[in-house]
């Protein structure tokens, strides 16, 4: 009895239930993706699921389209979102710290419903659904994820750096390019990650926004899993995981910083 | 002049972000079956929603499931995440790093991957998929947010108060309930609200882990409905109401955090 209460009394042990939970529900599932990806129907080790992807022209072109759409969405979000974040973080243009909530609020509303409303809005305006509407809808869905991290970094930035540059005679544009922009890089990278990762992997959204004309990679994964092609579905998920892993590695060092600050909201 | 341009730009982006939401809200006040057709002002969709006129469509059932799942998942996540945060705060080295690393994975992982991986887990473990698997899956992606909201509170509080309680004869349980939890409460409430909204909004993870027993949440209902062609009109007033509720919740969360930050600043 004494030993049990001693064990509970040690607070570092209190994370053990969660540690066990994480192993079962986070680590093991990822191992299973790899397990299923490298196993054939009979249970033997194989590379055939992976090689099948490289011979599957349908999946390959969907993969390329997904990467392309995700890159374009991310670029548009950055171009549109950076000025918003900059203006909102600048006390000259915005005195209240609550304004930002209005900009990030839509991301908490059911994404499917918003997407369907966007598609209907296009229909009503007589715009044909296609790549243009897909990009618009994706930008619309993910713009808040770009604005928020950049805003956070800009908001916390010490204004004296920019002032110093100005006092030393730099023009506003030079100040921005040489001081503000480099200092806001952590926000930009985490914004890029938060837009790129979900856009490269969405499913259902693109079908609704393009009237089934453009299919994205997430949908292929879903179709395979739903038609019980678990091994191939797992292999495709594995490929997606590699993309995500690479993106995290490329932007990773700065991301830790923003999660330490509490991440989203 | 500059200010005007700035306002104009911000206003334009806001319009872009809100156009579909306003579109839904406006068309919730007309009876038309097709979204975008205005057939005169009417509150019939609202009264249908509340007078039980939706029985049999499965919509109210989906709403009920969504709320129950979100409440259970948020509640368990808050308990699990708070305990975990206390443990992580007091541990060091490899165990701490490993826990934090795993804790971050569900937040970076795309929904599809989380969904597929948990689907494979339930298949592998032979867990029949339905309510239980969906709740477990939601706890998986909700708890990290609780941990990240409680940890800063632990950094802020005086760690000695817990030991003082023990020295004065409290059991660890009592010290937890009477000393730790009251101080961690703000972080726990924020974590709970975040977990609740995350669960409410989820589509992909639910989609993969709900199995074939016909469990529908609001998201899967909308998905099925849209695939059939044409959304149930009563979704419009429902979404409008959800939008207002989420708005209020988020404003409350942010005002709480603002206040906490001010308090912290005034203490310094």
Binary contact (A263, B87; C-beta < 8 A) = no
pLDDT at B239 over 80: yes
Closest-CA distance, B24 to chain A, in angstroms, reads 7
pLDDT per residue over A135-154, tens digit each? Answer: 999 998 889 889 988 998 88
Residue B175 touches chain A, beta carbons under 8 Å: no
Cβ partners under 8 Å of residue A90, min gap 6:
A154
Which 8-37 residues of chain B touch chain A by CB within 8 A?
9-10, 13-14, 16-21, 23-24, 35-36
Binary contact (B251, A101; C-beta < 8 A) = yes
So what's the pLDDT on residue A257?
A: 44
- B192 φ, ψ (degrees, to nearest 5): -60, -45
pLDDT at A258 over 60: no
Of A3-7, A196-200, B42-46, minimum mean pLDDT range = A3-7
So what's the pLDDT on residue B121?
A: 95
Of A230, A232, A72, A93, give the one whose Cα is nearest residue A138: A72
Instruction: Count how many pairs of residues, chain A against chain B, have C-beta atoms within 8 Å.
Output: 241
pLDDT at A259 over 70: no
Q: How many CB atoms neighbour CB B173 within 10 A?
A: 11
pLDDT at B254 over 90: no
Give domain limits for chain B.
58-232
Confidence label for A29 from pLDDT (cuts 50, 70 and 90): very high
Q: Which residue of A has its CA nearest to B122?
A: A29
State the residue for tokens 């797992």. A234
Rounded distance between C-alpha atoms, residue A229 and residue B234, angstroms: 36
Say which residue, B48 or A36, is predicted with more confidence: A36
Query: Using CB atoms, which residue from A21, A102, A120 is nearest to B36?
Result: A120
Confidence label for A78 from pLDDT (cuts 50, 70 and 90): very high
pLDDT at A261 over 80: no
Which 37-76 residues of chain B touch chain A by CB within 8 A?
none
pLDDT at A240 over 70: yes
Range list of β-strands (E), chain B: none
Burial bucket for residue A213 (CB in 10 Å: 0-12, 13-18, 19+):
middle
Distances (CA, A) of B8 to A93, A176, B31: 11, 21, 34
Rounded distance between C-alpha atoms, residue A63 and residue B83, angstroms: 41
Cβ partners under 8 Å of residue B240, min gap 6:
B24, B25, B28
Whether the Cβ atoms of residue A115 and residue A205 lie closer than 8 Å to each other: yes
Alpha-carbon torsion B216, B217, B220, B226, what sign? Answer: positive
Query: Residue A24 is encoded by which pair of tokens?
Result: 């079962």
Say which residue, A262 or B234, is predicted with more confidence: B234
Q: Which residues pair with B41 in a beta bridge?
A: B30
Of B261, B248, B105, B252, give the one whose Cα is nearest residue B190: B252
Of A63-77, B46-60, B181-195, minimum mean pLDDT range = B46-60
So what's the pLDDT on residue A2?
A: 60
Chain A CB contacts of B139 below 8 Å: 21, 25
Binary contact (B194, A265; C-beta < 8 A) = yes
Distances (CA, A) of A16 to A19, A89, B96, B120, B146: 5, 40, 11, 24, 16
Residue B90 touches chain A, beta carbons under 8 Å: yes
So what's the pLDDT on residue B224?
A: 87
pLDDT at A1 over 70: no
State the residue for tokens 């969906």. B134
So what's the pLDDT on residue A95?
A: 64
- Section B156-160 average pLDDT: 82
How many residues appear in chain B? Answer: 268
Confidence label for B206 from pLDDT (cuts 50, 70 and 90): very high
pLDDT per residue over B22-61, tens digit each? Answer: 888 888 888 877 777 777 788 888 888 777 666 667 888 8
- Taken in order of first residue, the domains within chain A and their CATH numbers are 60-260 (1.10.3720.10)
So what's the pLDDT on residue B146?
A: 93
State the residue for tokens 């544009």. A173
Chain A interface disruption, residue of B5, B113, B140, most A CBs within 10 A: B113
- Section A43-59 average pLDDT: 83
Q: For the domain made up of B58-232, give the CATH fold.
A: MetI-like fold (1.10.3720)
Query: Using CB atoms, which residue from A26, A103, A234 is nearest to B140?
Result: A26
Chain B CB contacts of A101 below 8 Å: 250-251, 254
Distances (CA, A) of A261 to A152, B149, B187: 10, 9, 13
Whether the Cβ atoms of residue B113 and residue A241 lie closer than 8 Å to each other: yes
Rounded distance between C-alpha atoms, residue A122 and residue A115, angstroms: 11
Of B58, B59, B69, B64, give the one whose Cα is nearest residue B199: B69
Query: Using CB atoms, which residue from B139, B207, B254 is nearest to A101?
Result: B254
So what's the pLDDT on residue B256?
A: 74
- Section A201-220 average pLDDT: 85
- Percent of chain A past pLDDT 90, that is, above it, reads 21
pLDDT at A262 over 60: no
Binary contact (A15, B254; C-beta < 8 A) = no
3-state secondary structure of B41: strand
Whether the Cβ atoms of residue B88 and residue B153 lie closer than 8 Å to each other: no
Q: Which residue of B has its CA nearest to A85?
A: B10
Mean pLDDT of chain B: 86
Confidence label for A260 from pLDDT (cuts 50, 70 and 90): very low
Highest mean pLDDT among A22-31, A98-107, A151-160, B87-96: A22-31
Query: Using CB atoms, which residue from B18, B124, B152 is nearest to A106?
Result: B18
pLDDT per residue over B65-94, tens digit each? Answer: 999 999 999 999 999 999 999 999 988 888
Burial bucket for residue A143 (CB in 10 Å: 0-12, 13-18, 19+):
buried
Confidence label for B268 from pLDDT (cuts 50, 70 and 90): low
Query: Residue B64 is encoded by which pair of tokens?
Result: 């009920």
Q: Which residue of B has its CA nearest to A244?
A: B109
For residues B168, B173, B176, B179, the Cα torsion angle rounded to the nearest 10 degrees is -30
Burial bucket for residue A139 (CB in 10 Å: 0-12, 13-18, 19+):
buried
pLDDT at B230 over 90: no
Q: Which residue of A has its CA nearest to B85?
A: A15
Rounded distance between C-alpha atoms, residue A73 and residue A62, angstroms: 16
- Section A86-100 average pLDDT: 77
- B158 φ, ψ (degrees, to nearest 5): -85, 115
Rounded distance between C-alpha atoms, residue A249 and residue A193, angstroms: 10
Report the predicted TM-score, pTM, of the whole model to 2 decimal places: 0.85
Query: Using CB atoms, which residue from A101, A112, A143 is nearest to B222?
Result: A112
pLDDT at A86 over 60: yes
So what's the pLDDT on residue B66?
A: 93
Chain B CB contacts of A22 below 8 Å: 99, 102-103
Of B72-76, B99-103, B212-216, minimum mean pLDDT range = B212-216
């Amino acid at each position: 009895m004494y030993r049990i209460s001693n064990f509970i009394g040690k607070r570092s042990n209190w994370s053990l239930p969660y540690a066990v939970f994480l192993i079962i529900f986070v680590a093991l599932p990822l191992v299973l993706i790899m397990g299923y990806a490298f196993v054939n129907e009979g249970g033997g080790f194989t590379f055939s699921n992976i090689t099948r992807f490289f011979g599957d022209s349908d999946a390959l072109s969907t993969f390329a389209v997904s990467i392309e759409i995700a890159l374009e969405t991310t670029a548009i979000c950055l171009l549109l979102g950076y000025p918003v974040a900059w203006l909102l973080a600048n006390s000259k243009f915005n005195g209240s710290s609550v304004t930002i909530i209005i900009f990030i609020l839509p991301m908490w509303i059911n994404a499917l419903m918003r997407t369907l409303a966007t598609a209907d809005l296009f229909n009503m305006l007589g715009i044909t659904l296609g790549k243009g509407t897909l990009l618009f809808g994706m930008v619309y869905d993910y713009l808040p994820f770009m604005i928020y991290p950049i805003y956070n970094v800009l908001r916390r930035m010490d204004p004296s750096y920019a002032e110093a540059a100005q006092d030393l005679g730099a023009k506003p544009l030079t100040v921005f390019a040489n001081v503000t922009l480099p200092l806001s890089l952590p926000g930009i990278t985490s914004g890029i990650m938060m837009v790129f990762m979900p856009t490269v992997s969405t499913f259902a959204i693109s079908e609704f926004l393009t009237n089934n004309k453009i299919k994205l990679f997430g949908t292929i994964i879903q179709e395979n899993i739903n038609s019980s092609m678990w091994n191939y579905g797992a292999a495709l998920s594995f490929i997606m995981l590699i993309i995500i892993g690479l993106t995290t590695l490329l932007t990773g060092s700065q991301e830790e910083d923003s999660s330490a600050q509490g991440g989203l909201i | 002049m500059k200010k005007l341009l700035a306002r104009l730009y911000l206003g334009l982006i806001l319009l872009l972000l809100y156009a579909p939401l306003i579109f839904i809200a406006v068309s919730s006040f007309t009876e038309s079956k097709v979204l975008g057709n205005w057939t005169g002002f009417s509150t019939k969709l609202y009264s249908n929603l509340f007078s039980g006129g939706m029985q049999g469509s499965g919509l109210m059932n989906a709403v009920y499931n969504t709320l129950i799942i979100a409440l259970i998942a948020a509640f368990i996540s808050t308990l699990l995440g708070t305990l975990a945060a206390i443990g992580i705060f007091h541990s060091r080295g490899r165990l701490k790093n490993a826990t934090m690393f795993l804790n971050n994975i569900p937040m970076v992982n795309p929904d599809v991957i989380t969904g597929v991986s948990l689907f494979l887990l339930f298949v592998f473990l032979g867990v029949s998929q339905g309510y239980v698997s969906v709740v477990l899956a939601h706890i998986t992606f909700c708890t990290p947010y609780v941990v990240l909201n409680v940890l800063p509170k632990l950094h802020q509080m005086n760690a000695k108060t817990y030991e003082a309680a023990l020295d004065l004869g409290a059991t660890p349980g009592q010290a937890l309930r009477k000393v730790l939890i009251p101080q961690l409460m703000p972080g726990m409430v924020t974590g709970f609200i975040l977990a609740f909204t995350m669960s409410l909004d989820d589509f992909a993870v639910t989609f993969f882990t709900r199995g074939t027993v016909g469990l529908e949440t609001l998201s899967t209902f909308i998905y099925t409905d849209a695939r059939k062609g044409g959304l149930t009109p009563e979704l419009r007033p429902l979404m409008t109401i959800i939008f207002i509720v989420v708005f209020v919740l988020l404003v409350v969360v942010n005002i709480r955090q603002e206040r906490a930050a001010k308090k912290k600043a005034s203490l310094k």
